[in-house]
Structure 1
């Protein structure tokens, strides 16, 4: 079996990123381990579900100026991350209450109901409830 298991999101601070993804987005912290080398780097994985069956995020602290410059603009300003939900209204309301910035109200598209939001760093995400069928 092959699957995309992790996608890296470049962050400026592990703990701040963990708080955002777990508290504001409702992800769970799957792993937080120190890496060898003694430079304070960590292997930090968060995932949107408790099953561990989907793709998770590796929160990777920027190393160097080139990586720091990409924080919040990893996909050139376009939506680059897609969070599927089975209840957009529920998750949209919970995320709004947690302070997540949405760029627009939810809208209906042929492929489902979608609302674009920004993560802590400005990366653009779709909160997406796929159309039935």
Structure 2
């Protein structure tokens, strides 16, 4: 069986992202390592409490030899615009979670709205990544 263990978001500053995802969103650190033999590379992964085996890797945009500077600049620009990836966070009560996150300083770009699939809202992280907060309902087709 194949399962999903983590996903990755590009971030402009790992420390700023760590602060946002842990203090504002309430996630916990899964892994935070910088192996000396990897020249300053940092693997930073966070995830929701109580959901081991599921995480978000907060990865800085790499330079050479992974990406040339022009490509890295494009990735940073797309990230800042919210087009480098989207994370969907699930909740049982979107309006209550929205209220709690606003109280923690999260700025939403879309307030909770009734949609055919449930209640949905969105915000961005400090790097610009688009995050959706969704309370889904069962749908029949």
TM-score (norm 1): 0.84
Distance 1:18 1:82, change over 3 A: same
> Aligned pair in 2 of structure 1 residues 77, 9: CA closer, same or farther (>3 Å)?
closer
Deviation at 1:38, TM superposition (A): 4.7
What is residue 119 of structure 1 aligned with on the other side? 125
Q: Which runs of at least 4 in structure 1 moved beyond 4 Å after TM superposition?
A: 76-79
Structure 2 residue aligned with 1:87: 93
CA RMSD of aligned residues (A): 2.3
Gaps of 5+ in 1: none
Mapped partners of 2:77, 2:4: distance in 1: 22
Instruction: Tell which structure's C-alpha radius of gyration is larger.
Output: 2
Q: Could you tell me which runs of 5 or more consecutive residues in structure 2 were left unpaired when the two chains were aligned.
A: 64-68
Partner residue in 2 for 1:59? 58
Instruction: Verify: 1:35 aligned to 2:32, yes or no.
Output: no
Task: Write 1 or 2 for the structure with the bigger share of helix.
Answer: 2
Match of 1:71 in 2: 76
Number of positions where the alignment pairs a residue of Structure 1 with one of Structure 2: 132
